[in-house]
Structure 1
Amino acid sequence: MAYATYENTVEKLKQHHISIHDIALIGFDSQRRYQPDLTLTQVEEAVVSILHKRVVQHQIWVALELDRLAEAHLLESPLQDLVEGDDSLFGVDETLGTAIAMSYDTIGVTNYGYIDKTKVGLVGELDRIGKTTDAVTTFADDIVGALAAAAASKIAHNYAKNIIAHQI
């Protein structure tokens, strides 16, 4: 039985035109105002770390597979229509995104909500692609937003931990 691994997950993301760099750009943009010395490399490292979590790998695989199946018209109705149309009341895509973001407490969830609402960077691009082409990106945009939020939150947690350590 084959299990999700970091390498498999990165490959699945690439198949959906999602790169670690693009995810990190969103996380960097949301965190740099709080940490002026933050580098994009640090955020990329945080994304890589998050992608090593098995539960995150599983959530990504399920999400991207649902997009793939909907794009191939292989889901049964009404699920096909909900996923293909990215129905605003569907919410399962946001639920998977929230689950990833929750790995880093409430800051992860609030970061994810902000990214999902503002549709910055690749999140917005994927959302527009899903609305203007035959491609289905219902879950992909939420996965990207959640990973970026989790990376920004991981960076924030580490920053806070370092501040506390220096005060002791």
Structure 2
Amino acid sequence: MMKHVPHSRDVRDAARARLIERGVSIESIAEIVYQMQAPYSPHLSLKDCMDSVEAVLDKRELQHAILVGSELDMLAERGQLSEPLLSIVASDEGLFGVDETIAIGAVNTYGSIAVTTFGYLDKAKIGIIKQLDTKMDDGQVHTFMDDLVGAIAANASGRLAHRLRDMTDFGEDEMRERKGLY
């Protein structure tokens, strides 16, 4: 029997919809990216950051990580994971680490700058990441989502850092010609 493979557009749309369902907007991620990159680029705008977030959300690795992680969070909310996994995920147990492992797998796309940015965001918990990390009193579980948002922001930040460096090295005209490469 031939298995159905979802169309890329369906996967992309499902991942983006899942972010919204879980209370995460593109703008809330872009605000983190802006905070990370503005000190290095005085002309950076929130729109630049939103564009970068949109671009990294087109990466299949991130889409898959969003779908898997958010599904595990939702299963934990409904009590549909077996023990002891249910208690571990529902309480965001400190030594669990699988949530970070999935996020790190998705953060490697934009090199070491994205990886180190993810590490910083995982500890600092700024913006929507902090809100997700501390929002357990309403029954929602965000054990995976806070790390996934950190991965998205880290990738978008790394992408911008690479683009800003290329802009400096190559100039705006050549970057326009190369636009499809990023």
* Same-fold status (TM-score > 0.5): yes
Q: CA RMSD in A?
A: 1.2
Deviations 1:44-80 (A, max 9, x none): 1111111111121111100000000011110011111
Equivalent pair of 1:27/1:152 in contact (CA under 8 Å):
yes
User: Does 2:27 correspond to 1:21?
Assistant: yes
CA distance in 2, matches of 1:118, 1:68: 25
Contact 1:5-1:52 within 8 A present in 2 as well: no
Residues 93-112 of structure 1: pairs in structure 2 closer than 5 A: 93-112=99-118
- What displacement does 1:14 show? 0.7
Match of 2:155 among 150, 158, 164: 150
Residues 109-124 of structure 1 aligned to structure 2 (within 5 Å): 109-124=115-130
Question: Which structure is larger by alpha-carbon Rg, 1 or 2?
Answer: 2
Tell me the residue number matched to 1:162.
167
Normalising by structure 1, what TM-score? 0.94
Report deviation, 1:147: 0.5
Q: Percent identity?
A: 38
1:56-95 to structure 2, matched below 5 A, reads 56-95=62-101
Which residue does 2:146 correspond to in 1?
141
Cα distance between partner residues in 1 of 2:21 and 2:165 = 35
Aligned letter for 1:101? V
Q: Give the whole-Å Cα distance in 2 for the aligned partners of 1:9 and 1:25.
A: 20
* 2:50 counterpart of 1:53: no
Looking at structure 1, the residues matched to 67 and 109 of structure 2 have their Cα atoms a distance apart, in angstroms, of 17
Distance (Å, rounded) in 1 between the aligned partners of 2:61 and 2:124: 26
Aligned length: 165
Which whole-Å CA distance do the structure 1 matches of 2:114 and 2:105 have between them?
Answer: 10
Query: In 2, are the aligned partners of 1:31 and 1:156 still within 8 Å (CA)?
Result: yes
TM-score, with length taken from structure 2: 0.87
SS in 2 for 1:5: helix
TM superposition shift of 1:5: 2.4
Unaligned runs of 5+ in 1: none
Partner secondary structure for residue 95 of structure 2: coil
Listed as ranges, the gaps of 5+ residues in structure 2 are: 172-182
- 1:48 alignment partner AA: E
